[in-house]
Each structure stands twice: as C-alpha cells, then as structure tokens.
Structure 1
Amino acid sequence: MSFQNNARRTTGEKALKTILFFQMGIGALANVTLFFRNVSPVWHGHKQRPPHTILTHMAVANLLDFVSAGIPYMKAAFVLRKPLSSLGCKFVYYIHRVARNTTMCSTCILSTYRFLTLIPGRMVWTMLRGQAPKVIHPSCCICWMFSIFLNTYVPVNITDAQQVGNSTDTQGKWFCSSLDPSANMVILWVAVDAMFIGLMVWSSGSMVLLLHRHHQRVRYIHTPNSSHRHHLETRAAHTVLLLVATFVSFYVLNSIVTFYVAAFLDFHLWLIQTSSILALCFPAFSPFLLILHNPGPPRSCS
C-alpha cells in the first residue's frame, strides 16, 4: 500500500513538473511575442501609445519571472548534484519578487489608465491624450524602482537549498529555503499587494459602471463614428477587465497555497510545484489574452 502511494505521488509530481515546464516554455514564447509586437512602432520611427508602453514593461517583467522561477527547477531536474548556492538562491528569489511586483504594478497602471480614458468629458479626454504619453513611461520606471527597493530585504531571509519535508521527496531538497520574515516586512508586503489589488478592483468596477451607463445613453444612437469608437473603447476595457480578473483569481489561489505551506510547514514537492504553477499562470496566460483580443499589429501614434 505504501509502495502504491509513493508511486502515485511520484507520478503526480512528474505530471506537475511536465505542466510547469510546458507552462514556462509557452509563457516565455508568448511574452517574447507580446514584447516585439509592442516595441515595433519604435523600430519604425513612431512613438508608442501608452498601453503599448505598459505592455512592453509587463512582458519584460513576465520574462524575468519565468527565468527566475525556472532556474531552480532546471537545476533540480537536470543537475541533481549541484543545487543552487546561497548566493544563487538570494539572486533568483530577489529577481522573482521584483518581477512579480512589477507585473502587479504594471497591471494596476494599465487598468487605471484605461478607466481614466473612459471618463466622459472633453476637457479630461484632451488632457489625458496630451499628458498620458509623458506620464506612462515614467510611471512604469517607478514601478521597477519601487519593486527593487521594496524587496531589498528579501535576500537576507533566503538561504541555500536544504533538506525540507520528508525523505521520500526526491527533489524537494534542491529548492531554496527561507527564514521567517519579520512582522514589519510581512505587513509591508501585504499592504503593498492590497493597495495594488484594491486599485485594480476599483478601476475595473468603475469601468463596468461607466460602460453600462454609456451603453444606456447611446443605445439609440447609430452614428458610424460614435459606434466605431465605442466598440474600440469597449473592447479595450473588456480586455483589461479580463486581465484584472485573471490576475486576482490566480493571486488568491497562489496566496492560499503559500499560506498553507508557511503555516503548516508542509514542504512536499507537489505543493511547491503547485504554488509555482499558480504563480506563473498569469504571466503565461495574460500575453495570449492581450494578443487574441488585439490580433492586429499595434497602431502607432505620431
């Protein structure tokens, strides 16, 4: 009976590892495609539109997330006798945290920007069209700097790979371990995540209300220009709403698994793999969502 349980667990761990590697490969390819689609106007001598600037930064952060998350698994899968050193663990986990926070911040900026562009009023619209290209790029750079400084304390808590869990986990000992962070750092991280997610939910909910009210006002108006513009704005808003809903869903699921591992000190390999899969779902799926909802090449603005 014990042999059967071990065999089932080993099979499940291999299946999760296969899913994880497939997710990393497809997700990295999708983010490379998203990056080149959104920087193409620059190569043709045009300026990027604000949404494409945000998506460029998001694609870079997602790629860094895949690279940092993939290194420990590559070492565990192919270099079993050489786990990551203490310095390697600190570097990889730091990059992972920076990329994760930058992705969250960029998604928040995108949802907030899309909500502001939907606000009715000629004066507000004109101001946003003129100022947004000047503000969006610095805002994305601030996201990177904020993430870099926010996670400066992370390497202190990360140590080299240690034997965790029980002896039946054949690869669990090759993953980095961490010390318990201080209460102040936990409160800071939770507060930052709550702030970004709160802004996403607020902007998404506001977009839903604006689109509903706008639909009620213009449903009897059939002028071609207004109909076409409303269709483009609605489609872009729906894309951002799906993006935010996807991020929040996977974030909550990953947080539940991470909390369980930390609270009950359960370091089984399948739990570590499940947590990693959930953490990488948004970076893997979001490029497909953005590309499929905007299949054409991004239009540049002069």
Structure 2
Amino acid sequence: MDQRFSYVAIRNAFYLQAGIGIAANTFLLCLHTAAAYVGHKPRLTDLPVTHLALTHILMLLTRGLLVSTDIWETQDIPGDFKCKVLVFLHKVMKGLSICTTCVLSVLQAIIISPSGSWLAHFKLKSTNPIVGLFVFLWALTMSLSCNLLLCTVATPNKTQPGLLFVTDCCSLLLVSHINKSFFLTLMACRDVFFVGLMVLSSGYMVLLLYRHTQRSQHLRNSRFPPKSSQEQRATQSILLLICCFAILYCADSIISMAICMKWTNNAIIVCVQILVANGYGTVSPLVLITADTQLTKITHLICGKKAIF
C-alpha cells in the first residue's frame, strides 16, 4: 500500500473520530446544563466531568487543526506561530485530560468512603477547593509544556533533516539531550503520580463495591433487600471510564516509546499514534452519558420520552 495513501486514509479516519468526539463531549455539556436547568441537585463530580468534556473538545479540535491542510494555506498568520500554539495547546489539553480523570477518580472514592474511614475527613461541602485545584493543574501542565513553544516549527520542506515529524506541516527541532531529558522526566513524573493516584483510588472503590456486594448477598432474602444507590452506579461508571483510559493510555505509551526510541519520521506510525492518543477523548463522553442514570433520564426527556425523576 502506498505510504502517502495510508497517511491520507488514517488522517481522514481521525476527522471522523474527532467529529464524533467533539459532538459527544458537546452533548455531555448540554446534558449537564439541562440538569441544572430542570433543578437537579448539583453533584461534586459535575465540575470535573464538565472540565473533562471541555478539555477533550479543545484537545480534539487542536489536533484536528494540526492535521488539516486548509489552515496552513492561509498566509495571514505565520506557520511557525500556528504550529507553536496548536501543538502547545494540544499537549496541555492531553495533560489536563490525565489530571482531570485522576481528580474525578479520587473525588468519587472520597464521596463513597464510609464515615469512619480516614478519607471521610476530605469530604467536600463546596466546589471551591476543586476550582482552586484546577487552576493549579492548568499552571502545572502549561509550565511542563512550555518547551514546545521554542522547539516547534513549521516544515514547508518535509525532507529537511534534523526534525522530528509531528504532523504533515509541523515538526519538532532536535533539542539537546539534557533539555529533552529534563522535560520528559518532569512529564513522566506527573503522569506516574496522577496515574498512580488513579490506580489507588480505583482499587479502593472496587474494594468498597465488593464489600457492598458481599453484604447484599447476606440480605438478599430479607424483607427489605438493599437497592443499588446512585453513588454506587456513579462509581461503576467512573471505574468503567478509568478502564477505558488505562487501555488507551498504555497503547499510546507503547507507541510513543517506540517512536522516541527509533526517532522515526514515519508519518503513518505517528498518525496511528494520534488515533490511539485521542481515542479516550472520544470514548469518555459516551461512557459517562450511557452509564449516568441522571443524564440518561434527561436524554429521554429531551427526546420526548416519559421520564420519572
């Protein structure tokens, strides 16, 4: 198969992926707006979910602009500036996606923790600490990606040596080993920290759900059998979300590591990595919409179906 044809086919597949992801995340935002409009009691997880949806919309949009050829035909804005801004924003959004998913996981673990546990001391009564945390995460993620503003360049000549392929029109300058290792180490530490918190909180939630299931089995034949609470269903949806994240994150890390180790300029491999890396931004809103009973009821209400609140 011709390499150029493969690159175009994969790029077109990403357009479809990005279109579905942007539409799904926008629909998720609309559902949360509708929930507030009809008077649903706001949940502490609403803000992280909304932030995650906005992050994924910007992540898919910036990546779509990077692989699009139309934006590079306009001469009003220099190509280097467009590359720097779009690559930087995409990297920031990708980092915020990891951080926000971690915040959502830890917050849900705190919400369902028993009153006697040590996590109960961290239960929040307002969203103010969450807002402050997101401001910190924005500052942290932008500082870790600031090197991209210096080493990202437009590549009108795709055969130019000394460049690492990013898209068909943008590449990275091969910076010094010390500079590269410094920023890669910082980003790796960030990812390890937040993914580690995600794993710990997910394991804790699985343990709590297992204990609840064990208690339910003992009470199954009682006169008042236990019902699955809304918090437990929300926990299950977040666990499903984290499973999707873990699978796609591992696949993205393996492909990215292979690209970095071989230092390849193969456009097809990079495009495949783009599909995998942005898969979570497309899948996550679908998981959150279908698994959240409150959002499902609002969807039925919007579609004109009978819903009981």
For 1:224-251, what per-residue CA distance to the aligned partner results, in whole angstroms no more than 9, with x for missing partners? Answer: 98833x3423321111111111112111
Q: What is the one-letter code of the residue matched to 2:103?
A: I
After alignment, is 27-36 or 42-51 more displaced?
42-51
**1:63 alignment partner in structure 2:** 57
For 1:110-160, what per-residue CA distance to the aligned partner results, in whole angstroms no more than 9, with x for missing partners? Answer: 100111122112687986665253433332333223222332232122222
**2:207 alignment partner in structure 1:** 209
Separation in 2, partners of 1:193, 1:73:
25
Separation in 2, partners of 1:28, 1:196:
25
**1:175 alignment partner in structure 2:** 170
Cα 1:224–1:27 change in 2 (3 A) is farther
Q: What is the one-letter code of the residue matched to 2:172?
A: S
Cα 1:219–1:90 change in 2 (3 A) is same
Q: Could you tell me which runs of 5 or more consecutive residues in structure 1 were left unpaired when the two chains were aligned.
A: none
Q: Which has the higher helix share?
A: 1
Separation in 2, partners of 1:150, 1:119:
33
Separation in 1, partners of 2:256, 2:78:
21
SS in 2 for 1:297: helix
Residues 255-270 of structure 1 aligned to structure 2 (within 5 Å): 255-270=253-268
Q: What is the one-letter code of the residue matched to 2:271?
A: Q
TM-score, L = length of structure 1 = 0.83
TM-score, L = length of structure 2 = 0.81
Does the CA contact (< 8 Å) of 1:162 and 1:176 recur in 2?
no
Separation in 2, partners of 1:48, 1:122:
25
Percentage of identical aligned residues? 23
Does the CA contact (< 8 Å) of 2:252 and 2:273 recur in 1?
yes
**1:237 alignment partner in structure 2:** 235
Residues 145-294 of structure 1 aligned to structure 2 (within 5 Å): 145-161=139-155, 163-164=157-158, 173-180=168-175, 181-221=179-219, 227-228=226-227, 230-294=228-292
Does the CA contact (< 8 Å) of 1:251 and 1:279 recur in 2?
yes
Does the CA contact (< 8 Å) of 1:39 and 1:56 recur in 2?
no
**1:297 alignment partner in structure 2:** 298
Separation in 2, partners of 1:218, 1:127:
27
Q: Could you tell me which runs of 5 or more consecutive residues in structure 2 were left unpaired when the two chains were aligned.
A: 300-309
For 1:229-285, what per-residue CA distance to the aligned partner results, in whole angstroms no more than 9, with x for missing partners? Answer: x34233211111111111121112112222222221221221121111111100011
Q: What is the one-letter code of the residue matched to 1:110?
A: L
Does the CA contact (< 8 Å) of 1:172 and 1:267 recur in 2?
no
Residues 43-122 of structure 1 aligned to structure 2 (within 5 Å): 43=37, 48-75=42-69, 85-121=79-115
SS in 2 for 1:236: helix
C-alpha root-mean-square deviation of aligned residues, in Å?
A: 3.0
**1:140 alignment partner in structure 2:** 134
Separation in 2, partners of 1:198, 1:146:
18
Deviation at 1:17, TM superposition (A): 1.8
Separation in 2, partners of 1:151, 1:268:
23
Q: What is the one-letter code of the residue matched to 1:54?
A: P
